[in-house]
Amino acid sequence: MQPQTSNEAYYKQVVTALGIGTLFFLLFLLLISGAVAAMSFLLAVLPLPSVAAKLIYQLIYGALYLAAFLCPIPIMKGLTRARGLPWQAVRTERGVSRYLPLIVLGGITVILAQSYLNAGLVSFFDFDSLFDSTLPSTEGKMTGLDLLLSLLVMAAVPAFCEEFLFRGAILGNLLPFGRGTAVLVSALAFGLMHQNPAQFLYAFGAGILLGTVYERTGSIWNCVALHFCNNATSVLATALPQWLGEETGTVVMLILDAVLVVLGLIAIVFLTRRSSRKPDVRDGAFGRSLPQADGYAAYRVEPARSVRLLLTSPFGVFLIACAVMGILTMLMLLLAGSVV
């Protein structure tokens, strides 16, 4: 067995600490699934007005979801510091970029393109029923309260807690080993975390984009804003056909998508040209200026070794567990569909 270099030993300790935290995250998700099932049963048997039951369910679900993503962060931090290693805190000190509207327009355009590509692949491989089965169902026409609750639970809460865990904690603490490593590993974890093969490429691509925004801007708030706006557009895409009628709502969404793409492409061109002219003055992972080269790493680990060390750590167990659970979910849904 090839002996580890000091950089490799450091990398292995970091991914071990992060990996243990992600395994706790999986445990929290399982516990929350049980709690949500119990809550659904109780709300069904209690004599509560439907509006009150809906409000209680959504608020408690949102709080549990928030806790599942945020609780692993102090675990990761404690394990990292217990090994005598520096913890890279989530970058919250900087506010949003003055170019945030352009970042959001360009980012949503890229994610929208990924969603169409993903939908095409899902349709090509005949996974449409699998994809539909994993989407949240809505009974009846969406009301104003439904819209507000959906924006809170499906847009605001995930945007905040998912960014803090995957970009802030995981990506941030992998940055010393290279920008590419940090962005790709965090995006892979983000994609597999959804445990849905039909959504993996979409989530993986979104993870790369969000990771790049975090690394380039040095602020978690830009990622939170982009994530929220993207999820909010999905919520509105569900609401408009219900409010305006299926045909009218679909036409309105296509027009909005077209306008968004035009504005997004303009934003992408502007940001790309500005980035190419601006000297690189970003802070490094340890507070010093990083060189211009994107391949820079304060603690370089060879790619093949980094993959091996990652997969043989608790982080690798997390990735494999998510992949296996996603495949099992797909098989069960496909089997259920064939039986029906």
pLDDT-derived band at 232 (thresholds 50, 70, 90) equals very high
Assigned domain for 40 exists: yes
Domain ranges, residue 294: 6-339
Query: So what's the pLDDT on residue 3?
Result: 67
Chain mean position to CA 132 = 20
Whole-angstrom distance, CA of residue 291 vs CA of residue 282: 9
Can you tell me whether residue 80 is helix, strand or coil?
Answer: helix
Query: So what's the pLDDT on residue 250?
Result: 84
Query: So what's the pLDDT on residue 269?
Result: 95
Whole-angstrom distance, CA of residue 309 vs CA of residue 306: 5
pLDDT-derived band at 292 (thresholds 50, 70, 90) equals very low
Q: Which residue has the higher pLDDT, 126 or 264?
A: 264
Q: Which residue has the higher pLDDT, 292 or 201?
A: 201
Q: Which of 205, 210, 169, 165 is CA-nearest to residue 188? A: 205
Can you tell me whether residue 129 is helix, strand or coil?
Answer: helix
Helices (H) and strands (E) in the chain, counts: 14, 0
What pTM value is reported for the model? 0.88
Query: So what's the pLDDT on residue 124?
Result: 64
Taking only the tens place, the pLDDT of each residue in 2-36 is 667 899 999 999 999 999 999 999 999 999 999 99
Taking only the tens place, the pLDDT of each residue in 127-178 is 555 554 444 444 567 888 899 999 999 999 999 999 999 999 999 999 999 9
Assigned domain for 146 exists: yes
Token couple for 120: 């095409």
Q: Is the pLDDT of residue 286 over 90?
A: no
Whole-angstrom distance, CA of residue 141 vs CA of residue 245: 10
Can you spell out the DSSP letters for 193-212?
HT--GGGHHHHHHHHHHHHH
Whole-angstrom distance, CA of residue 52 vs CA of residue 65: 20
Phi and psi torsions of 331, nearest 5°: -65, -40
Whole-angstrom distance, CA of residue 261 vs CA of residue 164: 28
Token couple for 284: 């490094």
Assigned domain for 1 exists: no
41: buried, middle or exposed (CB in 10 Å: 19+, 13-18, 0-12)?
A: exposed
Chain mean position to CA 246 = 29
Whole-angstrom distance, CA of residue 170 vs CA of residue 232: 25
Assigned domain for 181 exists: yes
Assigned domain for 248 exists: yes
Taking only the tens place, the pLDDT of each residue in 92-112 is 999 999 999 999 999 999 999
315: buried, middle or exposed (CB in 10 Å: 19+, 13-18, 0-12)?
A: buried
Cβ contact 99:271 at 8 Å: yes
Q: How many CB atoms sit inside 10 A of residue 84's CB?
A: 7
**How much helix, strand and coil, in percent to the nearest 5, is found in the chain?**
80, 0, 20
Domain count for the chain? 1
